Structure 1
Amino acid sequence: MAGADRGTTGAKNPVSSAKAPAWKHVLFSVVLFGVLAACILGSIFGGGDSGTDVPAPAADERADTVPLLARATADQGICYGWSLTEGWGSDPVNVGSNLGDGVAVEDNPSCPRWVQVVAEINYTSASSESSDSAVVRVTGSEDIGYAELSTVRSGLERLGLDEDAFVDDPGWAVTRAAVMLPLLAVEAGLAQPAATPSAGPVSPTPLPAAGNDFLRDRWGWLVATFGLLLLAALLLTVGVVQRRRQLREAVPAQRAGAGTAGPRTRENA
């Protein structure tokens, strides 16, 4: 009986031990599938992709652009501004004009005549097959025609401010385009160029004396000639001194020779 019980017990244990791992594998697979599904759904329907946000122009870019536009408005009588939009038909990310940062020119009572650059940027998520894109337009008040605005828009592209520049750095591109609007408005015939400040009469300063052309053009030759003459005079002086020394040494020798030759002549006689 004891052996039978042990046999029975030994037969039941393999069945229970075989069933337990199977349930554990199934439970582990279900949990793993649920975690993966939650991660995928969270990435798709989560709080959005931060990489699709369009950055506004930097504070220094806006601060530098506003006074330039204000100066152009004072000279030309046209208000200039910019508008940066994220996506199609959404609220602007940033606007600005000669009136200040955050102040638009469109439908502004202070700007009866205005021109602005409008950039609409569309950034797509990393999982999307579509590429980033931008639409750049130049709009103006009702008294400004389509032909003039098209000329201004073409001028922006000619200056390198095309759609690719706006996609790469929309904040810099939109403020840079706004600064170029006054110049392109003059080119399109919308405004007159700023008057060049005229300087008062200036009395000419008398030039210094020109001097002698002969000496100025030939001073090198004159210096060389003077040096050669000085060297020749030095050599001549040295030669004369040496010649005199030789003559002084030769005279006593001749006198001594003349004294000895006399007696020999008389003896011979």
Structure 2
Amino acid sequence: MATESGPGRDPGTPPAEPDAQASNRTTRRAAKGRRARDRETARRVRTVAIWVGVAVVVATAFTLIALGEEPDDDGTQVPPPTASELADTVQLLGDAYRAQGICYGWRLDGGRTSRLSVGSNLGDGVEVEDDPRCERWVKIAAVVTYTSESSESSDLASYEVTSSDDLAGIDYETGLKRLDLPTDAFVDDPGWAVCRAAVFLPLLVAESGAAPAAPTKTVPPGSAQPVPAALPDSGGDFWRDRWAYLVGAGGLFLITALLLTVGWFERRHQLPPPGAAARARRPPASRR
């Protein structure tokens, strides 16, 4: 006799998966998607890190090249007289020439730059020694040398006054010191000092009795000022001498830190999430 069975599944329908297996599959798909996203993020971070590293290397290289090709303007360039100082000096020396009949001139050499400034009562750029218009003449020649900022040596200055034979017995050096123009003034402001010394020469000649007094205005306008104070201490030479190397070292440190950060990021996102290994080793739930 046939037995009536209760409601049940169709014999042709596959058995339903247990809830645990469905949950595991969902978890695996989610983890796979998360790992894919992490790999893509790591790839982008690595690309950015590479470009940043290249930029830092290029910037550091250009800095070092620029320092290697740096011109002589590293603190050793001696400043010449300004245009107004030259114009005033030529005018005052011209007045002295008309009063005394003596030519007065100057010359400034700056380190490796000879004839940085040359002039006389005859004009800017005109010397007096060999000019036929100057039978009697006096000239001051100054040499100023600035050392580089990384050097421990001091800046140097010296000057010499030469003249025609009949004016050679005058003590010009003592007179310039008495007029508050020592060699230190040539270090502090070479252009101003050589022009001021030139316009003092007619006064010293007149004091010696070799010529009548020149016009009393013997200091160019704008030069009637105290001798410039000594330059302030520029500090130690350690950082000035080594800052380029410190910039390079800083760039390399930045690149190293960037690469370590990228490596840590990739390593962290390549590891499976906590508990994933244990779940992978767990045997699937048995069917009942």
TM-score range, shorter chain: 0.5 to 0.7
C-alpha distance in 2, partners of 1:24/1:57?
A: 52
Contact kept, 8 Å, 1:76 with 1:192, in 2: the verdict is no
Q: Report if aligned partners of 2:74, 2:149 keep a CA contact under 8 Å in 1.
A: no
Return the structure number with greater helix share. Answer: 1
Contact 1:57–1:94 at 8 Å: present in 2 too?
no
Distance change >3 Å, CA 179–CA 35, structure 1 → 2: same
Q: Which has the larger radius of gyration?
A: 1
Deviations 1:17-60 (A, max 9, x none): 4455345324312311321331343245245538635132442x
1:167 correspondence with 2:187: yes
Instruction: Read off the aligned partner of 2:196 and give its amino acid letter.
Output: R
Query: Are 1:95 and 1:101, in contact at CA under 8 Å, matched by a contact in 2?
Result: yes
Give the gaps of 5 or more residues in structure 2.
1-24, 215-288
Of 56, 67, 71, which aligns to 2:81?
56
Task: Name structure 1 gaps, 5 residues minimum.
Answer: 197-269
Question: Counterparts of 1:118 and 1:53 in 2: how far apart (Å)?
Answer: 15
Residue type at the aligned position of 2:182: D
Q: Equivalent residue of 2:138, what SS?
A: strand
Greater RCO, CA 8 A, separation 6+: 2
Q: Which residue of 2 aligns with 1:108?
A: 131
**Residue number in structure 1 paired with 2:104:** 80
| 2:203–2:213 CA contact under 8 A, matched in 1 | no
Show CA shifts across 1:226-258 (max 9, x none): xxxxxxxxxxxxxxxxxxxxxxxxxxxxxxxxx
Q: Aligned Cα RMSD in Å?
A: 3.7
Once the two structures are overlaid, the 10-residue window that deviates more, 91-100 or 42-51, is 42-51
Aligned residue for 1:49, secondary structure, equals coil
Q: Deviations 1:123-153 (Å, cap 9, x if unpaired)?
A: 45556555544322212346665xx36x212
Q: What letter is aligned with 1:182?
A: P
Instruction: Report the secondary structure of 2:128's partner residue.
Output: coil
Per the TM alignment, residue 71 of structure 1 is displaced from its structure 2 partner at its CA by: 4.3
What is the aligned counterpart of 1:66 among 86, 90, 106?
Answer: 90
Length-normalised TM-score, structure 2: 0.51
**Cα pair 2:167 2:210 within 8 Å, conserved:** no
Q: CA deviation at 1:69?
A: 2.8
